[in-house]
């Protein structure tokens, strides 16, 4: 983690905490925490989103709140800085959960969302050569996410990503899929995932962790057991933020590193890239 990334994570935690401290909803805190990270260009989301193999940034995001179990998501959106806000708008302004592709981008533009277009030379790769490049994945991640609990006892979770290295155009990972990349339920807790999306989808990891909380597992145990299964059964890799409706939380990862942090409002926000 660079010092710029650490400072940005701390700033994002402060934005989220101050919103909660002033009585704002967990949903708003999650959205605005993620917006700081998307705008920074320092992570694989928003301005810093990774390119797909045809040289285009296509981004995914989702958000969910645990009181009424409302959720919104966008997949494969282009040219906007804040996919997390587009996801919140899907949740609040429509009766749908997920919008995709150019029509999700069109939806976001109806709300005059700030635009961003990364200038990259178009890569004229044939589909065959894209498939070959895909096979040598570098496996770097960097998705951004947040979970929060507000004064009313409502939890929320969100995530925003540019995807993984060497994606075929049109690839969508776990991040916009409710129950996989995020889940939030006031009866259990809120979960936000990062990692290899294909493996996270196959085990519906975020909902899997919430189900274990329902059974009485602590956040640390629930996260550990589901991540162990992810590695053992399908050689997956992931990291998670887990927060219960009583305010217990854990950050765990099966990957060697995961940049993340938390703040109780006292001292400086804690930011690290290894949690055990
Ligand atoms: N989970 C994201 C995806 O597969 C990538 C990441 O977390 O960095 O699209």
Tens digits of residue pLDDT in 116-151? 876 565 566 677 766 666 655 444 558 999 999 999
* Active-site residue set: 143
Q: How many CA atoms lie within 13 A of 136 on its CB side?
A: 4
Q: What is the pLDDT of residue 124?
A: 62
100 — phi, psi (to 5°)? -130, 155
How far away, in angstroms, is 209 Cα from ligand 1 center? 17
User: Region 178-203: what's the mean pLDDT?
Assistant: 98
Burial class, 121, CB count within 10 angstroms (exposed 0-12 / middle 13-18 / buried 19+) = exposed
pLDDT at 128: 73
Residue 169 pLDDT level (bands cut at 50, 70, 90)? very high
- Indicate left, alpha or beta for 55 from its phi (over 0: left) and psi (-120 to 50: alpha): left
Kindly give the distance from the C-alpha atom of residue 152 to the centroid of ligand 1, in angstroms, as a whole number: 31
pLDDT digits (tens, 9 = 90+) for 20-71: 999 999 999 999 999 999 999 999 999 999 999 999 999 999 999 999 999 9
Tens digits of residue pLDDT in 81-110:
999 999 999 999 999 999 999 999 999 999
* CA 119 to chain centroid: 24
* Residue keyed to tokens 């050689």: 235
Confidence at residue 173, expressed as pLDDT on a 0 to 100 scale: 97
Residue 140: predicted pLDDT: 54
**Could you tell me if the CB of 66 is within 6 A of ligand 1?**
no
Does residue 113 register a pLDDT over 90? no
Q: Lowest-pLDDT range, 103-107, 118-122, 179-183, 243-247?
A: 118-122
CATH numeric code, 3-272: 3.60.20.30
C-alpha torsion angle, residues 160, 166, 172, 177 (rounded to 10): -50
163 lines ligand 1 (CB under 6 A): yes
Question: What is the 200 CA–ligand 1 centroid distance (Å)?
Answer: 9
Residue nearest to atom 7 of ligand 1 (CA): 194
What pLDDT was estimated at residue 120? 63
Q: Distance (Å, rounded) from C-alpha 189 to C-alpha 7?
A: 27
- Give mean pLDDT, residues 174-179: 98
Q: What local confidence, expressed as pLDDT, does residue 153 receive?
A: 97
Q: What does the domain layout of the chain look like in residue ranges?
A: 3-272
Mean pLDDT value of segment 167-191: 97
| 3-state SS record for the chain | CCHHHHHHHHHHHHHHHHHHHCCCCHHHHHHHHHHHHHHHCCCCCHHHCCCCCCCCCCEEEEEEECCCCCEEEEEEECCECCHHHHHHHHHHHCCCCEEEHHHHHHHHHHCCCCECCCCCCCCCCCHHHHHHHHHCCCCCCCCEEEEEECCCCCEEEEEEECCCCCCCCCCCCCCCCECCCEEEECCCEEEEEEECHHHHHHCCHHHHHHHHHHCCCCHHHHHHHHHHHHHHHHCCCEEEEEEECCCCEEEEECCCCCCEEECCCCCCCEEECCCC
Pairing type for strands 238-244 and 189-195 reads: antiparallel
- The pLDDT confidence band at residue 112, using thresholds 50, 70 and 90, is confident
Residue 207: Cβ within 10 Å count: 18
**Ligand 1 pocket member 59 (CB < 6 A):** no
Instruction: Confirm or reject: Cβ of 142 under 6 Å from ligand 1.
Output: yes
Beta bridge partners of residue 145, listed in sequence order:
159
**CA-nearest residue, atom 4 of ligand 1:** 197
Q: Does any ligand 1 atom lie closer than 6 A to the CB of residue 195?
A: yes
């Amino acid at each position: 983690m660079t010092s710029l990334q650490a400072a940005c994570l701390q700033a994002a935690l402060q934005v989220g905490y101050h919103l909660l401290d002033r009585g704002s909803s967990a949903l708003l805190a999650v959205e605005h925490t993620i917006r700081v990270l998307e705008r920074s260009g320092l992570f694989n989301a928003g301005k810093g989103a990774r390119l797909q193999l045809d040289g285009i940034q296509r981004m995914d995001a989702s958000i969910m709140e645990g009181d009424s179990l409302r959720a919104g998501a966008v997949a494969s959106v282009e040219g906007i800085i804040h996919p997390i806000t587009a996801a919140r708008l899907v949740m609040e302004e429509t009766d749908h959960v997920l919008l995709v592709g150019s029509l999700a981008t069109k939806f976001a533009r109806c709300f005059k969302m700030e635009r961003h277009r990364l200038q990259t030379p178009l890569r004229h790769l044939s589909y065959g050569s894209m498939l070959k490049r895909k096979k040598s994945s570098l496996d770097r991640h960097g998705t951004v996410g947040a979970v929060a609990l507000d004064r009313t006892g409502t939890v929320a979770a969100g995530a925003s990503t540019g995807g993984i290295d060497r994606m075929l155009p049109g690839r969508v990972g776990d991040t916009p899929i409710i129950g996989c990349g995020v889940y939030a339920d006031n009866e259990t807790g809120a979960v936000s995932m990062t990692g290899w999306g294909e493996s996270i989808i196959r085990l519906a990891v975020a909902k899997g962790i919430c189900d274990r909380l329902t059974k009485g597992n602590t956040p640390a145990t629930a996260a550990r057991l589901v991540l162990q299964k992810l590695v053992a059964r399908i050689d997956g890799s992931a990291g998670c933020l887990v927060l219960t409706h009583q305010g217990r939380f854990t950050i765990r990862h099966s990957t060697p590193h995961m940049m993340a942090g938390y703040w109780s409002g006292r001292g400086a926000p804690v930011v690290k890239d290894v949690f055990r």
